[in-house]
Amino acid sequence: MSEISRVTVIGAGVMGSQIAMLAAQAGCTTTLVDIDENRVDAAVETLRRTMARSVERGRATAEEVGAAFELLSTSTDLSEAASDADIVIEAIIEDLGAKRALFAQLDEIARVDAILATNSSSIVSSRLASVRNPARVCNMHFFNPALVMQLVEVVGGDHASEETVARVVGLAKCMGKTAVVVRREIFGFIANRIVGAVFDEAISLLEAGVATPEEIDTAVTLGLGHPIGPFALLDLTGIDVNVGIKRLEAQETGVTSRGPSRTLLELVEVGHLGKKSGRGFYEYGAR
């Protein structure tokens, strides 16, 4: 099984930039790619501040962080950045059309033996596997914030080879993560399916007038030991983001009832998107 030493991450958002940092910390020569040079520069500056705080808190040494940044480079040239990578990790918007277009490009650019992984939390990689070598395509799903959260879900499917899954699991371990192999493709994988069920039930209880968001969150945190209640978590991740996920779930499963609830749609309609907008199920002040 060949070692992964050259990593390209596409998408300089929060997830992509942190995944790139993890790869560099694992000793891989890493390139972070985005079409927007300003976004790439901003991502690196944010990483520098984040890693400086890690040093201050004793989670890493200055030498370790410096060595990681020596291995991390940025680019706006996809062809150059992906042509010699052992693995390309896609972390762009959660849109099937955009991801398919990108994977079609990567099929022409990347080595035929390079792994093509998507960080998608819901779109299974078989939807992106129309490439010369579909056995090298899989999901490598990190959780936000990737630098902190320990879990990585690795999803193969009938198209992905056992070697591909094993190599991706190995890379996750080198990054200091715990990898869980999802043995069959299914919308939402494991963790998000479970938290999605919690969201659905919490909203159902709210709409039935059983309890308020505050009371439901208190019951979940104190009664079940969850670190954050479902409504606070919906606010944190973004009401609009969750509406998009529920719409995609209905589309992917063919079950219209799996779409977004009336409550979520009403919040989005009035611009209450959660913490980022200053108000969702809770109020957070002006943003």
Asked whether residue 100 carries a pLDDT value surpassing 60, the answer given is yes
The confidence score (pLDDT) of residue 2 equals 58
104 backbone φψ class: left, alpha, beta (φ>0; ψ -120 to 50): alpha
User: Which is catalytic among the residues 120, 122, 192, 242?
Assistant: 192
What mean pLDDT is predicted for residues 178-191? Answer: 95
Q: Is 153 a catalytic residue?
A: yes
Domains and CATH numbers, the chain: 6-182 (3.40.50.720), 191-277 (1.10.1040.10)
Q: Cα separation of 280 and 89, whole Å?
A: 32
User: Which is catalytic among the residues 119, 125, 139, 153?
Assistant: 153
What mean pLDDT is predicted for residues 97-121? Answer: 96
Q: Cα separation of 195 and 241, whole Å?
A: 14
The confidence score (pLDDT) of residue 252 equals 84
Asked whether residue 248 carries a pLDDT value surpassing 50, the answer given is yes
3-state DSSP call for residue 12?
Answer: coil
Q: Cα separation of 221 and 206, whole Å?
A: 16
Mean pLDDT over each residue of the chain, to the nearest integer: 95
What is the DSSP code string of 217-230?
HHIIIIIH--SS-H
| Tokens, residue 232 | 């606070």
β-strands 87-90, 151-155: how paired?
Answer: unpaired
Q: Is 242 a catalytic residue?
A: no
What are the b/e assignments for 86-97, b being 16+ CB within 10 Å?
bbbbbbbebeee
**Per-residue pLDDT reduced to its tens digit, 26-57:** 999 999 999 999 999 999 999 999 999 999 99
Terminal C-alpha separation, the chain: 50
Asked whether residue 1 carries a pLDDT value surpassing 70, the answer given is no
Asked whether residue 253 carries a pLDDT value surpassing 90, the answer given is no
Q: Tokens 């819901």, residue? A: 122
User: Which is catalytic among the residues 141, 159, 185, 272?
Assistant: 141
| Tokens, residue 259 | 């779409």
The share of the chain scoring above pLDDT 70, in percent, equals: 99
φ/ψ of residue 262, rounded to 5: -55, -40
Residues 6 or more apart whose Cβ sits within 8 Å of residue 256: 250
Q: Cα separation of 58 and 258, whole Å?
A: 44
φ/ψ of residue 280, rounded to 5: -145, -115
In the chain, which ranges are E strands? 6-10, 29-33, 72-75, 87-90, 115-118, 137-142, 151-155, 178-182
β-strands 151-155, 137-142: how paired?
Answer: antiparallel
The confidence score (pLDDT) of residue 287 equals 56
Question: Which of 258, 17, 278, 277 lies closest to 145 in space, CA to CA?
Answer: 17
What mean pLDDT is predicted for residues 264-283? Answer: 97
**Per-residue pLDDT reduced to its tens digit, 156-174:** 999 999 999 999 999 999 9
The confidence score (pLDDT) of residue 3 equals 84
Q: How many residues does the chain have?
A: 287
Could you tell me which residues are beta bridge partners of residue 118?
90, 139
4 backbone φψ class: left, alpha, beta (φ>0; ψ -120 to 50): beta
**HSE-CB for 74 with a 13 A CA cutoff:** 21
User: Which is catalytic among the residues 17, 54, 119, 121?
Assistant: 121
Predicted TM-score (pTM) of this structure: 0.90
